[in-house]
Amino acid sequence: MDFILLQTEVANTAYNYIPIALQLIFAAGLVTTMILGSSLLGPKRRTADKLQNFESGIEIKGNARRPIAIKYFLVAILFVLFDVEVIFFYPYAVNFRHLGWEGFIAVSIFISLFLAGLIYIFKKGALKWEE
């Protein structure tokens, strides 16, 4: 028992976070070096062709600011919302035996809120395309 307490006390020292800090410093230094290196060593000639917007090789037609139906954005936001909620099932699936009935009740509440949101979306007609 004393060994377990001693291990948890040692695990929470600042010394254990040094590798993470070094990795963050190295990553920031690498990004800074690449950005500064490319701006200092790269070509600096500005021509009309280089300053023109790149449209994947397709000729520019019309205005890019034309209105788009809100249904596309609504479906995209709902997809992201429900996709992120499904990600929260993974920790439960990994630890379901350890969590026991308390975890089952918590996940049941989460699923009920998830389904309540889905029913609300259907009742509001957010997924109907015919309107």
pLDDT in tens, 33-89: 999 999 899 888 888 877 777 767 677 677 777 777 777 788 888 888 888 888 888
Prediction pTM value: 0.43
pLDDT in tens, 82-116: 888 888 888 888 888 888 889 889 889 988 988 89
CATH number for the domain formed by residue range(s) 2-124: 1.20.58
pLDDT over 60 (residue 28): yes
At what angle are helices 70-87 and 89-124 packed, to 10 degrees? 150
The domain locations on the chain are 2-124
